[in-house]
Amino acid sequence: MRIYLLLSAIFYYSTAAPSADLSTCNYVGLVKCFINILDEWAWTLYELKDNVVTITQDQCVHLEELQKCIQDGNPVAHNCKHSEIVEVSNTVSDLLTHRRNSGSFLKSYYLLTYACSQEGQEILANHRECLKSEKIGEMTLSAGTYLTEKFIEHGDDEICDKVNEKLQEYISAMTGLCSKHDAAQLMCKSLIMMFKGMHPDKMEGCNFDCKIPAKEEEEGAEEENAVPSSSEDQNVEQKPNGHSGLQHQPDSAPQITSIMSLFTIMLTYMVFRN
């Protein structure tokens, strides 16, 4: 399999029309670097729609290996610019999927960067099952596709502000899902990593953030500082099996409705755009 892909890549780049600008990029060397890491198991990881919430610490090792290819950290340098690295990743993706214009596996690589950080892995360890059941991984992927097509590929001078506005909308819609803010932070920071990784030229100067709206922070502080009344204490004691009944049940229905509406809108957009 690897030999076939490497030979196909060598043929592709040896027959490609020469660029007007002379390049020092060792395309074949970079392809070989990618293919040596993207075995069948690893490729399956990058194709999973919910990989943002399913990836584990041992699987994150593959990201570290891919990082060496991208950052030219191997003994034999490829000397490729970022645009050339993305171009090669597109070719490798086409060869692996047997489809033209299939996109780049680097999108998943950058999307998974935050999930593989210490902070991201702590969120997954604490809330993985909830994140999976609420389809946070699929929503993150859909949101990335939507924002890329709407603002980045066909963007304007206000791209930074518009993307930031959308990120804040997502954070507000996801507040209270699985935890107070962890699901929102996982989605938001994963998207930022993807945008800056895939489109560094267009993202230059953008100051993205995943800050929690001030109103929600104040409400969270009030909830933590609230002292239950004696009647509330009695109600808590009467709950069977030690459950207090105060595990954000009143807010769960509107929050889930809000985020699923967001998910539906994004999916509808992609279907009709295609």
What single string gives the DSSP state of each residue in the chain? -HHHHHHHHHHHHHHSPPPSS-----HHHHHHHHHHH--HHHHHHHH-TTHHHH--TTTTHHHHHHHHHHTT-SSS-----HHHHHHHHHHHHHHHHT-TT---THHHHHHTTTTTSHHHHHHHHHHHHHHHHTTHHHHHHHHHHHHIIIIITT--TTHHHHHHHHHHHHHHHHTTSSSSSHHHHHHHHHHHHHHHHH-HHHHTT-----PPPHHHHHHHHHHHH----HHHHHHHHHSGGG--S-SSHHHHHHHHHHHHHHHHHHHHHHHHH-
Q: Number of structural domains, the chain?
A: 2
Residue 103 shares a structural domain with residue 133: no
Do the domain assignments include residue 37?
Answer: yes
Nearest to 2 by CA among 37, 26, 30, 29: 37
| Same domain flag for 140 and 85 | no
Looking at the structure, do residues 99 and 184 belong to the same domain, yes or no? no
Do the domain assignments include residue 230?
no
User: Both tokens of residue 243?
Assistant: 């459950």
212 in any annotated domain? no
Question: pLDDT tens string for the chain (274 positions)?
Answer: 455 555 555 555 555 544 546 688 998 889 888 888 887 666 776 777 788 999 998 888 888 888 999 998 888 889 999 989 999 999 888 887 788 877 888 988 999 999 999 999 999 999 999 999 999 999 999 999 898 888 876 666 788 888 999 999 999 999 888 988 999 999 999 999 999 999 888 887 888 889 887 655 545 544 544 444 444 443 433 333 333 222 333 344 444 444 444 544 444 344 434 4
> Does a structural domain hold residue 76?
yes
Which of 111, 140, 162 is the C-terminal boundary of a domain? 111
Instruction: Tell me the C-alpha distance between 187 and 262, whole Å.
Output: 13
Q: What is the pLDDT of residue 270?
A: 46
- Is 133 found in the same domain as 73? no
- Residue 104 makes CB contacts below 8 A (sequence gap 6+) with 86, 89, 90, 93, 198
Residue 268 and residue 171 in one domain: yes
Tokens of 13: 């780049």
**Which of 165, 203, 169 is closest to 184 using CA atoms?**
169
Identify whether 244 is part of a domain.
no
Closest C-alpha among 223, 172, 166 to residue 195: 166
Considering the domain architecture, whether residues 132 and 199 belong to the same structural domain is answered as yes
Predicted structure pTM score: 0.72
Same structural domain, 133 and 268:
yes
Distance between start and end Cα atoms, the chain = 32
Task: Let me know whether 107 and 79 are in one domain.
Answer: yes
Q: Is residue 242 part of a domain?
A: no
Question: Do 29 and 78 touch, CB atoms closer than 8 A?
Answer: yes
Whether 262 maps to a domain, the answer reads: yes
Residue 245 falls in which region: left (phi positive, over 0), alpha (psi -120 to 50) or beta? left
Domain coverage including residue 176:
127-205+250-274
User: Measured on CA atoms in the order 171, 172, 178, 181, is the torsion positive or negative?
Assistant: positive
Do 139 and 254 fall within a single domain?
Answer: yes
